[in-house]
Structure 1
């Protein structure tokens, strides 16, 4: 295939007239090559004739297409105007109302409805947050009151724990109860601790007790029990007179000794009952 461009050879670029033979500094002969610039590229005459013709044809084809499109659009517009002009006034009003209704429906469905749903969600969330805020404010107002009540309960709890002895203090407490009867002038016939009963964080320790003495000595004994620092309750108290025994001073107000039977119940503090049960 023959090329449109002229063929360039190395011999045309480098000619012998461009060669020089100067003497080098070291005495050896040397050569220096001088390359001439490339000649301008010339287009073939046929190619130069074809380019303007193609450009002119393309521009004419584009103009023809634009004219056809314009004519078709004009014809369509004229036909639409002609059809609308043939309609009655009522039909025109109906078409306008329908178009407006269609636009309003589309806007409502695609624009206003999502925003309305989002507004409802935000309103519900706002109401929920307002309720939570009101509840938080209510609790904040009650906080001081609850703190005061908590301090009172803690004080009562400390008093109760002081009134409930530990396990190692029970023998001393039982000794104090027995000594109180003796100090009141009573004769202790029976003083027997029974098995303790667990009641959560504390345990009951019942003591079966029988004493004899005069009535005022029994009242003095009860007062001494009430003045103990620990909690001691007397249950099932029974008194009976013994006619065979007279009082010491022979007074007619209380001529006989009384035999008093009761159950003295004391308590002790049980710490970490759940942990102890699990360890067992």
Structure 2
């Protein structure tokens, strides 16, 4: 039975209300599936993309902070390395440096009994140049000698100390010091060796 406006108007009030509700539900259903739901999906996709962009931005900010931090640390390390490298003499400077140490000992009033360079010990990027020292002197002379050595612009260390009173010396306050002193020099890394190229086979 087809419904017309006149037939709808003649219906009882409860049926009119029920029919109106059905009509509204149909309109809402069409609106939901045809318009609102697609828009909602687009909004959700955009929200997800926005969240991804926010996370990416935050990650890049953290990376930028870390980059500046590492950049500053690298700059500090390079500066320290430069300072250390400046204190490592070149190979040609070693004889002059050893002579300077011997002269400081004499200028301090020490009686140098032994000044013997030993074999060079190679490490990764530097070489240790040890030498044996044995000398006689008073306490203040010994202290002045090591103080003067420490003031040199090059790195010099001392170890394996032996301090004793020398035998057969009548003077009081004289001490005999034996130690191993070392200086260091920078060693450049050797250039990488090229692999020999295999000869190409000639075609017969």
Fold shared per TM-score above 0.5: yes
Q: Where does residue 180 of structure 2 map in the other structure? A: 263
Q: Deviations over 1:49-75 (max 9, x none)?
A: xxxxxxxxxxxxxxxxxxxxxxxxxxx
TM-score, with normalisation over the residues of structure 1? 0.53
Q: Partners in 2 of 1:173 and 1:118 — Cα distance? A: 78
The residue matched to 1:187 in structure 2 has which SS? strand
Where do 5+ consecutive residues of structure 1 fail to align? 1-78
TM-score, with normalisation over the residues of structure 2? 0.68
Q: Partners in 2 of 1:90 and 1:171 — Cα distance? A: 118
Shift in CA distance, 119/216, structure 1 to aligned 2, threshold 3 Å: same
Give the alignment partner of residue 167 of structure 1, picking from 88, 91, 95.
Answer: 91
- The question of 1:186 aligning with 2:111 is answered yes
8 A contact 2:114–2:132 mirrored in 1:
no
Q: Partners in 1 of 2:134 and 2:118 — Cα distance? A: 12
Q: Where does residue 55 of structure 1 map in the other structure? A: none
Q: Where does residue 96 of structure 1 map in the other structure? A: 20
Q: Partners in 2 of 1:114 and 1:236 — Cα distance? A: 84
Q: Deviations over 1:65-111 (max 9, x none)?
A: xxxxxxxxxxxxxx3127x6596544443343334334323432343
The residue matched to 1:246 in structure 2 has which SS? coil
Q: What is the Cα deviation at residue 147 of structure 1?
A: 7.5
Shift in CA distance, 206/111, structure 1 to aligned 2, threshold 3 Å: farther
Which has the higher relative contact order, 1 or 2, with Cα contacts under 8 A spaced 6 or more apart?
A: 2
Q: What is the Cα deviation at residue 201 of structure 1?
A: 4.1
Q: What is the Cα deviation at residue 197 of structure 1?
A: 4.1
Shift in CA distance, 97/263, structure 1 to aligned 2, threshold 3 Å: farther
8 A contact 1:186–1:217 mirrored in 2:
no
Q: Partners in 2 of 1:134 and 1:227 — Cα distance? A: 49
Where do 5+ consecutive residues of structure 2 fail to align? 195-204
Shift in CA distance, 152/104, structure 1 to aligned 2, threshold 3 Å: same
Give the alignment partner of residue 224 of structure 1, picking from 127, 131, 148.
Answer: 148
| RMSD, aligned α-carbons | 3.7
Q: Partners in 2 of 1:171 and 1:146 — Cα distance? A: 40
Q: Partners in 2 of 1:203 and 1:113 — Cα distance? A: 76
8 A contact 2:120–2:127 mirrored in 1:
no
Q: What is the Cα deviation at residue 230 of structure 1?
A: 0.5
Shift in CA distance, 202/118, structure 1 to aligned 2, threshold 3 Å: farther
Q: What is the Cα deviation at residue 113 of structure 1?
A: 2.9
Question: Hey, which of these two has a bigger chunk of helix by percent?
Answer: 1
Q: Partners in 2 of 1:194 and 1:203 — Cα distance? A: 10
